Structure 1
């Protein structure tokens, strides 16, 4: 399994395919909500099994020190195998290399235990995004 920044159009297409499978097909999120026009300003990360993209996330910088992790998704067959954790580790390494001191995300409530296990903390009340209950979470990076 390889975890990396997206470096080719085919990897980005694979990331979009994972998002389509997980968010649009599996969770019923509207396509125009999933593809929100922000992808061009984001860094994209993938997990590759051979040539197949099986997991993805994107990162949008909110400031020089803060980034938001978005669109984290792993194909159903590949879940609970440590792939999400490795994607987050890859993102964290990249953010630290850019002198970023924190990452935030909006976690679906079903994913909160996963993010807690990866060092994130809840930082607010629940809210709805795409008709799914979420909570804001944050991770501060140590020096």
Structure 2
């Protein structure tokens, strides 16, 4: 695997990855997946030998970097790519002036994954696109 992860302005490619993972695989309604925040977000793209294989986005809200829309193509899951995307997103968040914490909404099954990366759960369970989530945070 020759994976590269970097900040990108290629929203079209990130949206195509999200379409595959969220809309096609997880049956998230397109109206819930596509929003107007892409234009103000920082985007992170993972490629393997030039092929797009994962992405994430970061929304800056005062001192908080909200990491979201984290997706990895099915054939790349279990390779460590998801953790690498989160670490890269955290590195980008740390470079933003005034940002002191990262936050994300984790699907319940993924909570242990994020806990291994240092995130802690807070708040109640809630539904996002019909999927159970919990908020998680990490001090930067």
TM-score (norm 2): 0.94
Give CA deviations for 1:14-59 in whole Å, capped at 9, x if unaligned. Answer: 2111100100000001111100111001000011112211010000
Instruction: Determine the structure 2 residue equivalent to 1:138.
Output: 137
Instruction: Determine the structure 2 residue equivalent to 1:3.
Output: 5
Shift of 1:13: 2.1
| Distance in 2 (alpha carbons) for counterparts of 1:81 and 1:128 | 28
Q: Any gaps of 5 or more consecutive residues in structure 1?
A: none
Q: Is the 8 A contact 1:24 1:30 kept in 2?
A: yes
Give CA deviations for 1:55-111 in whole Å, capped at 9, x if unaligned. Answer: 100000111x21100100000110011111111111111111224210001100111
| Distance in 2 (alpha carbons) for counterparts of 1:38 and 1:119 | 26
Instruction: Determine the structure 2 residue equivalent to 1:112.
Output: 111
| Distance in 2 (alpha carbons) for counterparts of 1:42 and 1:14 | 14
After superposition, the CA RMSD in angstroms is: 1.0
2:84 counterpart of 1:86 = yes
| Distance in 1 (alpha carbons) for counterparts of 2:79 and 2:100 | 28
Q: How many residues align?
A: 137
Query: 1 or 2, which has the higher helix percentage?
Result: 1
Instruction: Determine the structure 2 residue equivalent to 1:96.
Output: 94
The SS at the match of 2:27 is: coil
The SS at the match of 1:44 is: strand
| Distance in 2 (alpha carbons) for counterparts of 1:88 and 1:36 | 21
Q: Any gaps of 5 or more consecutive residues in structure 2?
A: none
Task: Show structure 1 runs of 4+ deviating over 4 A.
Answer: none
Pairing of 1:15-94 with structure 2 (within 5 A): 15-63=14-62, 65-94=63-92
